[in-house]
A = this chain, B = another copy of it.
Amino acid sequence: MAKQKKAPRPKAVTPKGFRDYFGAEVTQRAEMLRTIAGVYHRYGFEALESSAVETVEALGKFLPDVDRPNEGVFAWQEADVPGGGAGDWLALRYDLTAPLARVYAQHRNELPTPYRRYAMGPVWRNEKPGPGRFRQFYQCDADTVGSGSVAADAEICAMLADTLEAVGIPRGYYVVRVNNRKVLNGVLEAMGLAEDEERSAAVMRTIDKFDKVGEAGVRELLGKGRLDASGAYIDGVGLTEEQAEPVIALLTARTRLNEIGPDQDPAISYNTVVLNTLSQLVPATGEGMKGVEELMQIANLLAAQGYGPDRIVIDPSVVRGLGYYTGPVFEAELTFEITDEKGRPRQFGSVAGGGRYDDLVKRFTGQEVPATGVSIGVDRLLAALHAKGRMQAETQGPVVVTVMDRDRMADYQAMVAELRNAGIRAEVYLGNPKNFGNQLKYADKRNSPVAIIEGGDEKEKGIVQIKDLVLGAKIAETASLEEWKDRPSQFEVPRDQMVAKVQDILKGQGQ
């Protein structure tokens, strides 16, 4: 044996936590992004595409305090600078908000103020992948930088409602829930927890669980603790029942909708009831009351444009995890039921969220720049539309012109050119044409609506055979052999009527 070592073949696999997207998965997402961009544009927002790569320094949270800052982001170090000095640490962006703050700080002298921008594209997270959790996914954001007005927050909420309807979620099947961090802080202040960061955080986490565990569950979690559905015991915050009461009142404010009489305007009454409740839960002066007033302004601005609580609702139970929010926060939830992987019905849940963050640009410039925005989880929204049966998993394949005679490829190419010029998706079979069965199997795999056959006999007679593959498949599925013989799914037409006949068949198939 010779000593030569053959290089081993590389493995054909995506890196762990990454995946490929095929066909309809790509085009449906592209179409959705285009629709969303259309709504954002109509609201006056401008497109921005920042680079996928940022300096680790600009990204912030992930400063390299160890040799390799690979916590949370994918990062690497540039080559050393010629003539001395270590290269910069670079990283893939983990969201679209941190790059916006960098872009605004960098270009603020050329950009209009306020700067309304939208951005859509992949972001990357260096996290442990799990089922359905990928390390690259799409975000689709809109933000207004440089406006401290709650009108900017209200506008984002209205735009979010419009966007959901534009992509195909009917009115009544979603709700945008709005809250204000200042109100939550005010309630914590009233409870005497303003200085107790640890218990404040625990209360916030508990509020966030309201949807899952309900009022009784929250009472337990705020008090002594709770036995989980899985049998695990979850420690409580340790508040007395009296101490916990403001939180319960906050969370159940929304249910007082029932108290509204039949002859009252539900939109105005609802906001009045909820906001009255909240104003009694926060100290009479200070941040909490300011938060209630902001919510009132938002509700009024939205009511003036016709957005009632059926679309956008004040909901004191919304928290939003991110630490950087400083005022209004919002979340869009789909309210219809889907069937989960275990066959149980469940609510689809959140597909978008955002809020006001006033400190992100300050990191760069030292000056506070108010900002508010929303991020839509496009992949979740697509999943929702699929679950709701509003989107087909596969797209229609092309008409396939089969190759009966390898030497007449030019004839077949001329056929597809004719079909394409009539706006019909079409292609010639370009595999090995020897086995005709393989050509039909290919058409089947491509989900083709029609196959066209022109052998020597047909050529001589000046005709083509046209197979309706959709009808053919239906017949094969449902009819006995006898019936099959009687139902034509294959037609013989003069060559010069090929395009017209294909158009007929496609129309009949509902294309």
CB-CB < 8 A to A149: which residues of B? 409, 430
Q: Is there a chain B Cβ closer than 8 Å to A446's Cβ?
A: yes
Q: Is there a chain B Cβ closer than 8 Å to A310's Cβ?
A: no
Q: Is there a chain B Cβ closer than 8 Å to A144's Cβ?
A: yes
Among residues of B, the one whose C-beta sits closest to the C-beta of A31 is B34
Among residues of B, the one whose C-beta sits closest to the C-beta of A409 is B151
Tell me whether A74 and B53 are in contact in the complex, defined as CB-CB below 8 angstroms, given that A15-B88, A363-B9, A411-B304 are known contacts: yes
Are B21 and A413 in contact, with the CB atoms below 8 A? no
CB-CB < 8 A to A424: which residues of B? 42
A12 to chain B, nearest CB (A): 4
Complex Cα distance A13/B26, Å? Answer: 32
CB-CB < 8 A to A363: which residues of B? 9-10
CB-CB < 8 A to A509: which residues of B? none
A408 to chain B, nearest CB (A): 10
Are A70 and B79 in contact, with the CB atoms below 8 A? yes
Q: Is there a chain B Cβ closer than 8 Å to A277's Cβ?
A: no
Are A113 and B442 in contact, with the CB atoms below 8 A? yes
Are B410 and A300 in contact, with the CB atoms below 8 A? yes
Complex Cα distance A190/B285, Å? Answer: 94
Partner among B13, B23, B48 whose Cβ is within 8 Å of the Cβ of A46: B23
Are B364 and A10 in contact, with the CB atoms below 8 A? yes
Partner among B54, B304, B413 whose Cβ is within 8 Å of the Cβ of A410: B304
Q: Is there a chain B Cβ closer than 8 Å to A417's Cβ?
A: yes
- From 29 to 64 in chain A, residues with beta carbon under 8 angstroms from any chain B beta carbon are 30, 34, 37, 41-44, 46-55, 57-58, 60
Are A136 and B10 in contact, with the CB atoms below 8 A? no
CB-CB < 8 A to A37: which residues of B? 27, 30
Complex Cα distance A10/B149, Å? Answer: 27
CB-CB < 8 A to A42: which residues of B? 420, 423-426
Among residues of B, the one whose C-beta sits closest to the C-beta of A398 is B44
Are B9 and A155 in contact, with the CB atoms below 8 A? no
Copies of this chain, count: 2
Among residues of B, the one whose C-beta sits closest to the C-beta of A90 is B15
CB-CB < 8 A to A301: which residues of B? 409-410, 413
Are B9 and A23 in contact, with the CB atoms below 8 A? no
Are A428 and B155 in contact, with the CB atoms below 8 A? yes
Are B30 and A34 in contact, with the CB atoms below 8 A? yes
Are B51 and A136 in contact, with the CB atoms below 8 A? yes
Q: Is there a chain B Cβ closer than 8 Å to A357's Cβ?
A: no
Q: Is there a chain B Cβ closer than 8 Å to A19's Cβ?
A: yes
- From 126 to 153 in chain A, residues with beta carbon under 8 angstroms from any chain B beta carbon are 135-136, 144, 146-147, 149, 151-152
Are B413 and A43 in contact, with the CB atoms below 8 A? no
Q: Is there a chain B Cβ closer than 8 Å to A283's Cβ?
A: no
Are A114 and B430 in contact, with the CB atoms below 8 A? yes
Are B10 and A57 in contact, with the CB atoms below 8 A? yes
Tell me whether A12 and B365 are in contact in the complex, defined as CB-CB below 8 angstroms, given that A21-B49, A34-B34, A301-B410 are known contacts: yes
Render A424-445 as a binary contact track against B, CB cut-off 8 A, 1 for contact: 1111101100000000001001
CB-CB < 8 A to A20: which residues of B? 48-51, 103, 106-107
Complex Cα distance A364/B423, Å? Answer: 38
Tell me whether A428 and B151 are in contact in the complex, defined as CB-CB below 8 angstroms, given that A304-B414, A413-B304 are known contacts: yes
Q: Is there a chain B Cβ closer than 8 Å to A336's Cβ?
A: no
A464 to chain B, nearest CB (A): 16
Are A60 and B10 in contact, with the CB atoms below 8 A? yes
Q: Is there a chain B Cβ closer than 8 Å to A313's Cβ?
A: no
A selection of 25 A-B contacts at a CB cut-off of 8 Å is A9-B365, A10-B363, A11-B55, A12-B105, A12-B106, A14-B102, A15-B88, A16-B78, A18-B53, A20-B49, A20-B106, A21-B50, A23-B47, A25-B47, A30-B47, A42-B423, A42-B425, A43-B427, A44-B400, A44-B446, A53-B74, A147-B431, A151-B430, A155-B427, A304-B411
Residues of A within 8 A of B (CB): 9-16, 18-23, 25-27, 30, 34, 37, 41-44, 46-55, 57-58, 60, 70, 74-76, 78-79, 88, 90, 102-103, 105-107, 112-114, 116, 122, 124, 135-136, 144, 146-147, 149, 151-152, 154-155, 158, 300-301, 303-306, 363-366, 397-398, 400, 409-411, 413-414, 417, 420, 423-428, 430-431, 442, 445-446
Given A14-B102, A149-B430, A155-B430, output 13 extra A-B contacts at Cβ < 8 Å: A20-B107, A22-B46, A43-B425, A43-B426, A43-B427, A44-B397, A44-B446, A51-B136, A116-B427, A304-B410, A304-B414, A305-B410, A305-B413
